[in-house]
Structure 1
Amino acid sequence: MDERRARIHDDLRGVIEGELLFKPLERANYAHDASIYEIDPLGVIVPRTEQDVATAVRYAAENQIAVQARGAGTDPSGGVLGAGLVIDFSRHFRRIVSIAAESVVVQPGVVLDHLNAQLAPMGRRLGPDPAGSEYCTIGGMIGVDAVGPRSLRWGSTGDYVERLRVVFAHGEVAEVGREPWPEFDDDAIDFKGVVVRKLGALVRHNSEMLMRRIAPVPRNRAGYALGRSATTSCIDLARLIVGSEGTLALVTEATLRTIPIPAAQGVALLPFARIGDAAKAVVKCLEESPSACDLYDWRTLRLVRDAVPAFRDWIPELAESVLIVEFEGDDPHEVGGRIRRLTDRMVRSRLLVADPIEVTRRAEAERLLNLRRVVEPLLMRMKGPARPVPFIEDVVVPPKALPDFLQRLQNILKYHDVSWTLDAQAGLGLLRIRPFLDIADPGDLAKLEPLATQVVEAVLDLGGAISGAHGCGLVRTQFLRRQFGDQVQVFREIKDAFDPLNVLNPGKVIGDDPHLILRNIKPMPPSVSDAEEEAEATADEGTAVVPLILPVLRWTDRSPMETASACNGCGACRTSDPSARMCPTFRALGSEAATPRSKANLIRQLMAGTIDPKLWGTEELRQNADLCIHCNLCAKECPSGLDVSTLMLEAKAAYAENHGLPQMDWMLSRVDLWSRVASRFPIISNALLNNGATRWLFERLFGLAKLRRLPKVHRTPFVRRAARLGLARPRPQAPGPRVVYFVDVYANYFDQELAEAAVAVLHQAEVNVYVPTAQRGSGMPALVAGDIDHARDLALANLRVLGNAVRDGYTVVCSEPTATLMLRHEYLKLTDDLDAALVAANTHDLGQYLAGLDARGQLPAPKHPLRARVGYHQPCHLRALDVGTPGLDLIRNIPELDVEFIDRGCSGMAGTFGLARDHFRTSLRAGRPLLNRLRDVDIEIGSTECGACRMQMEQGAPKRTLHPVKLLSMSYGLNPALLRHFKAPKARHEVS
């Protein structure tokens, strides 16, 4: 196989402009998706042009190699997985080609939310709105004919596709849409003509079968949509290709119809005592023509009520199920009237357990309609090995049959002794059923096929369909014949017409494996105890044992194995939402390897042995781990709460253990040392660091980016200046709250104005400030580099100082969010020293501490006005601390200061990441949305708590950037020298 891969790689290398990913760790990123399956591909092609796609498909056809098209890889059915060549459209095919009055032309890698953001100023949007719109791609939506909550009114993706530009199975490129049936004496001049002629014959010979309604449901996604695509005069090839799961052709461009955004929106929440009562009410709700009608069960409601206080006012305690019914229209009064008619009708039905809720404000309506997005992370973070498994999540029954089906479903799951949860697009009869199973447990694994089979039989008995949203994939293809019977042969002939060599996503939709649902289940690593037992059992036999990855950090919640195995592949880490942060490097690079899900699954694959464990600690794995900048936002924003950052620290530490630190990493991990040395000779140091020839030499020798602007070092570290001011001794007998100020490297050596402002503001609030001289750098640069021993030494040194202070009644305060994160979280991973927990529990960000004083009335109100418009950026590490934006809240109290929260993602600097030559451009790309806003003329000054973010903001925009406490200090009339920052800045060179 390796020889075959090498040959294919060599054959394609000279003819494909895009990337070729054939190494084990490169392929591993594409072996999984959001399903329970895993298949190692032959190789991965990331095309840049349509010609790349055509060349790759032509080569595959000539050599009988399967091809799988892939977008965001969020399909829970396994439809994008295969052992052939994967073509990833999500990285380079992201262009919105044109926008017309009522249509758009886009490439398949365009993210839905990006497209709707471009359409919004025109008052339009795409009709379907599937879950995950912030990361799902148009190509993926076309592949499965995606729907969303509003599909009850607006239909599916196929209803909006006008034309497609495609690559057929032999590499032919064509534009397809409504094609007239050919005359009998016409000669087919191209492959498209041949396909149309074959389909015409197929329709004539099977017209009676095609016109039969196989399932009396509003939504049936299984099989090919020939019956919906063919008329007496033409065949709509585009409509037929939509929903074909990449088995008929590969889409390179799509023309889509758009719809106007309704002016009015309202939602009714109807609470029921039993889920059966809610199901009975669905048909009555549909009589009012809603745009959405969603059902949720008791488990969902309980999780939401416990986790999100706002929902407690909307969802009563007695409710075991709710219907959320949405209405849209152009007249708010008409929408409100329809909501009232429905709620009045439901009250008269006596099915409700409490009063209905009516919401007409758009923000609240959207929040209720997106309840599924709120509950998904709560389900995935539930403790225990069992997880909600997506393998019967896409069945659909007629809405009037919902009560009967739910009763049968409960009996089936009870028979198999399985806990479960569900929600449903009840207006369509589309159910998302999630049994809780541990697929690493052979007993639970054995339940998959019989459980799925019995559910499918119940669905079909009631006139339903096996798929309503996600297609067949690996999980439902084997059940296609149960639904369609002899019509499956028609599907085979459609497949043969488009793809006679069966190279396009073979085995999906058309497949002969009667047990496909059990093939290629994602391997899970053994538990520690199982691995130890296996080691003991095989030791005497002399057989090889897959070694465990032994952690060097402390894991107190989940083990590395549990963390890596908990990823469900949902793709939320590919989000394009500007208000989210996960993942900065993915946003900059757009590569699947940069996503947290790929990093987590890489560790799982190593532990499970599907990737050679000998790769642990190698240069190849370290390159992958270096894509993680340790922003710590995975644990906060990942639906499963995965701490991928710490997994990558383990990978970096393993490399350091085997090979030592690379020169650049070693230098940056000792930034506190170099800062101390530079402060001894500040004039020489600053001159060298601002000299072009010296910077060029440093880049060549150490990898320090020559274009990166560095702050000037000061002669005397602030902790030594604080000693001269009498702050270096604890004074527990002095009045006022006690604070030990942890300065960290940036404020200590480079931005002493910040340290002075912090102390001055604390004194303004009559706080007793102590600045210990024995404190050292927090150790984050060493930790991120994988130099765990050095980071631990720094941690223990700081804990000795800070622990004593805390025992004397002091609270630790940090002006640097990174230092706060280290003291509160990372030190607990580095050491089991008892002082680590003590210090963590008593450490606060400076803004958080000041906000607490303000809330208690101990912080004086700012008095002096500051006339400027400030753009505030929230650092990633402050966001990871989950303390809100206290600095922003404080400076908003400053008279005449106009503050804007620029919530546009990470700055991209990521501590020492942006200092490196190899990461300099990437860091600027990651911070582009923030930097673009800062460059706007209406923003006069930037503000952020993070020193590294400040460097990046001043690098990308010719404006001063100040810590919020500096602004607060100026408003108190302290540190008047800081007012010079409000003068017009000099023009600076910008790096694009």
Structure 2
Amino acid sequence: MSDTKMIEEDKQAVYSGDHCLSCTSCMANCPVMAASLEYRGPKLVAPAHGRMHFSQDDYEDSLDFCSNCKSCDRACPSGVAVSTLNMLMRGEYYRHHPHSKRDDMLAHGERMAKLVSAIPFGSTFANLGTKVGGALGVLSAMGIAGQRSMPSYASKTFYRQFKDIKQPKSDKKVLFYPGCSINYNEPHIGIAFVKVMNHNGYEVLVDEGMNCCGSPLVVTGYLDEAKEHADNNVSRILKWKEQGIPVVVCCTSCSLMLRAEYAELFGEQRMEDAAENIYDAFEFLEELMSKGELKTDFKRVDKKLIYHVPCHLKTQGIGTPAVSVLKQVPGVEVELADAGCCGISGNYGFKKEKYDISMKIGEKLFERIKESTADDVICDCPTCRMQIKHGTQTDPCHPIEILEEAYR
């Protein structure tokens, strides 16, 4: 790795803690601190210990409380990558300490999903198994929040369904990265994306050689394994970039990892180069709209929508492109929930000891949705949708599903 070109030192997350002013903005904006007195705060965990650049075997006891929601990063006036420093510290800790079986399972969802999809009727047995295991307290005994339902596996993955789609050939192409959730749990969202792009004259390609973005690995401390995923994915993204084919993503946590967190965590120039070829789905559609290239032959959709903006979308600094696009659909009204973090933060809220914190963080959002007169809740993030469903008994959908409905 000695010949690997790194980004400039002042842009590397590991050194950003040196710019901390101890102003406590990160602490004032941390949803976990607001929900739990046990967390001593992102400033102490990340910048304070990060200044030692991980040269000493010294770890803050509340390191495990950070959910990586990145509220602290957005609040920092000095540009300190607070949450990324937390993740680097967590990765360093687990290089010298064993993981629990629970964390191993939560971090390796892709591994389990591949096994399930390879077995005939695997999804049926797996879904039944998690329901029975939850009812009998097996999951709780492992350290998983027993109040939650585990995500269900689809009977047929997105990649398998994609092979059956008859697309029009086109010179305009995009590479769709479904991530684990769409591929294994919610393939209908990927199908909706393909239909939207086909309607706009694009042929959609996939690359089954890409793997999980690595976000679940990072937050559970499997940093070296996450680096392997980054190396593979970045190499493939760069090959598509050379062909002039953008990579488009429907999951905001995946897009954040691919376009920002790889470089922040690992500091390699090629990761920044690959990031230039990553687009959020509605970011790409909004760009088409700005150039007058987005098809506007919408049918009327009389729906009032309430939109929860995921933390990982806010962190990308691209605004709310789904709102801009959906407002072009006759009959659609979109209001922002504007109620902060939902609290689940990927696999954070699935941990038994973090469940109450997760639900406490989400209280404001739950109440906002319950009080709303909206017909549907929309959100780009799969785990946010799980949390909203759990906390409000509504059935949120991805914004791309609304757009696809308007094009029918």
- Fold in common (TM above 0.5): yes
Aligned residue number for residue 596 of structure 1: 42
The Cα RMSD (Å) is 2.5
SS at the partner of 2:248? strand
C-alpha displacement at 1:693, in angstroms?
5.0
Q: Is 1:798 matched with 2:233?
A: yes
Aligned residue number for residue 646 of structure 1: 84
Aligned residue number for residue 713 of structure 1: 153
Note closer, same or farther for the CA distance 1:838–1:602 as it changes in structure 2 (3 Å cut): closer
Q: Distance in 1 between matches of 2:300 and 2:133?
A: 41
Note closer, same or farther for the CA distance 1:927–1:824 as it changes in structure 2 (3 Å cut): same
8 Å CA contact retained: 1:875, 1:944: yes
1:222-253 Cα shifts (integer Å, max 9, x gaps): xxxxxxxxxxxxxxxxxxxxxxxxxxxxxxxx
Write out aligned runs for 1:435-584 (5 A): 556-558=9-11, 562-575=15-28, 582-584=29-31
Q: Distance in 2 between matches of 1:794 and 1:671?
A: 14
Note closer, same or farther for the CA distance 1:559–1:574 as it changes in structure 2 (3 Å cut): same
Note closer, same or farther for the CA distance 1:627–1:855 as it changes in structure 2 (3 Å cut): same
SS at the partner of 1:888? helix
Q: Distance in 2 between matches of 1:972 and 1:963?
A: 15
Aligned residue number for residue 823 of structure 1: 258
User: Could you tell me which amino acid in structure 1 is paired with residue 358 of structure 2?
Assistant: S
Aligned residue number for residue 104 of structure 2: 666
User: Could you tell me which amino acid in structure 2 is paired with residue 720 of structure 1?
Assistant: R
8 Å CA contact retained: 2:66, 2:86: yes
8 Å CA contact retained: 1:692, 1:706: no
Write out aligned runs for 1:411-422 (5 A): none
Aligned residue number for residue 839 of structure 1: 274
8 Å CA contact retained: 1:816, 1:946: yes
TM-score in terms of structure 1 length: 0.39
Note closer, same or farther for the CA distance 1:695–1:624 as it changes in structure 2 (3 Å cut): farther
Aligned residue number for residue 3 of structure 2: none
Aligned residue number for residue 629 of structure 1: 67
Q: Distance in 1 between matches of 2:269 and 2:22?
A: 37
C-alpha displacement at 1:939, in angstroms?
2.9
Q: Is 1:934 matched with 2:369?
A: yes
Note closer, same or farther for the CA distance 1:648–1:956 as it changes in structure 2 (3 Å cut): same
C-alpha displacement at 1:554, in angstroms?
7.7
User: Could you tell me which amino acid in structure 2 is paired with residue 747 of structure 1?
Assistant: I
Instruction: Tell me the number of residue pairs that the alignment of Structure 1 and Structure 2 aligns.
Output: 400
8 Å CA contact retained: 2:144, 2:352: yes
Q: Distance in 2 between matches of 1:684 and 1:561?
A: 44
Aligned residue number for residue 615 of structure 1: 58
8 Å CA contact retained: 2:32, 2:361: yes
Note closer, same or farther for the CA distance 1:608–1:682 as it changes in structure 2 (3 Å cut): closer
8 Å CA contact retained: 1:719, 1:748: yes
Q: Distance in 2 between matches of 1:919 and 1:954?
A: 18
Q: Distance in 2 between matches of 1:674 and 1:654?
A: 25
Q: Is 1:918 matched with 2:365?
A: no
Q: Distance in 2 between matches of 1:695 and 1:766?
A: 50
Note closer, same or farther for the CA distance 1:776–1:936 as it changes in structure 2 (3 Å cut): same
User: Could you tell me which amino acid in structure 1 is paired with residue 211 of structure 2?
Assistant: R
C-alpha displacement at 1:648, in angstroms?
0.9
User: Could you tell me which amino acid in structure 1 is paired with residue 99 of structure 2?
Assistant: L
Query: Is there any run of 5+ residues in structure 2 with no aligned partner, and where?
Result: 1-5
C-alpha displacement at 1:839, in angstroms?
1.9
Aligned residue number for residue 326 of structure 2: 891
Which structure's CA Rg is the greater one?
Answer: 1
Note closer, same or farther for the CA distance 1:861–1:672 as it changes in structure 2 (3 Å cut): same
Aligned residue number for residue 760 of structure 1: 195
Equivalent of residue 696 in structure 1, options 118, 128, 137:
137
Q: Distance in 2 between matches of 1:560 and 1:775?
A: 25
Aligned residue number for residue 967 of structure 1: 402
C-alpha displacement at 1:716, in angstroms?
2.3
8 Å CA contact retained: 1:945, 1:963: yes
Aligned residue number for residue 34 of structure 2: 587
SS at the partner of 1:740? strand
C-alpha displacement at 1:591, in angstroms?
5.4
Q: After alignment, is 599-608 or 641-650 more displaced?
A: 599-608
Note closer, same or farther for the CA distance 1:832–1:903 as it changes in structure 2 (3 Å cut): closer
Aligned residue number for residue 722 of structure 1: 162
User: Could you tell me which amino acid in structure 1 is paired with residue 319 of structure 2?
Assistant: G
1:111-163 Cα shifts (integer Å, max 9, x gaps): xxxxxxxxxxxxxxxxxxxxxxxxxxxxxxxxxxxxxxxxxxxxxxxxxxxxx
C-alpha displacement at 1:560, in angstroms?
6.2
Note closer, same or farther for the CA distance 1:560–1:736 as it changes in structure 2 (3 Å cut): closer
Note closer, same or farther for the CA distance 1:754–1:608 as it changes in structure 2 (3 Å cut): closer
Equivalent of residue 852 in structure 1, options 282, 287, 291:
287
Q: Distance in 1 between matches of 2:350 and 2:249?
A: 23
SS at the partner of 2:114? helix
Aligned residue number for residue 216 of structure 2: 781
1:596-650 Cα shifts (integer Å, max 9, x gaps): 22223531576799xxx4434xxxx3x5222211123433321122111121112
8 Å CA contact retained: 1:720, 1:773: no
Q: After alignment, is 746-755 or 600-609 more displaced?
A: 600-609
Q: Distance in 2 between matches of 1:715 and 1:859?
A: 33
C-alpha displacement at 1:809, in angstroms?
1.2
Note closer, same or farther for the CA distance 1:862–1:700 as it changes in structure 2 (3 Å cut): farther
C-alpha displacement at 1:694, in angstroms?
5.0
Note closer, same or farther for the CA distance 1:605–1:686 as it changes in structure 2 (3 Å cut): same
8 Å CA contact retained: 1:764, 1:859: no
User: Could you tell me which amino acid in structure 1 is paired with residue 44 of structure 2?
Assistant: S
Q: Distance in 1 between matches of 2:399 and 2:264?
A: 30
SS at the partner of 1:933? helix
Q: Distance in 2 between matches of 1:685 and 1:562?
A: 44
TM-score in terms of structure 2 length: 0.90
C-alpha displacement at 1:860, in angstroms?
1.3
Aligned residue number for residue 509 of structure 1: none
Equivalent of residue 747 in structure 1, options 179, 182, 192:
182
Note closer, same or farther for the CA distance 1:567–1:830 as it changes in structure 2 (3 Å cut): closer
Q: Distance in 2 between matches of 1:836 and 1:558?
A: 13
Aligned residue number for residue 124 of structure 2: 683
SS at the partner of 1:948? helix
C-alpha displacement at 1:872, in angstroms?
0.3
C-alpha displacement at 1:795, in angstroms?
1.7
Aligned residue number for residue 900 of structure 1: 335
If each structure's strand is expressed as a fraction of its own residues, which one has the higher value? Answer: 1
8 Å CA contact retained: 1:780, 1:819: yes
SS at the partner of 2:247? strand
Aligned residue number for residue 867 of structure 1: 302
Note closer, same or farther for the CA distance 1:937–1:816 as it changes in structure 2 (3 Å cut): closer
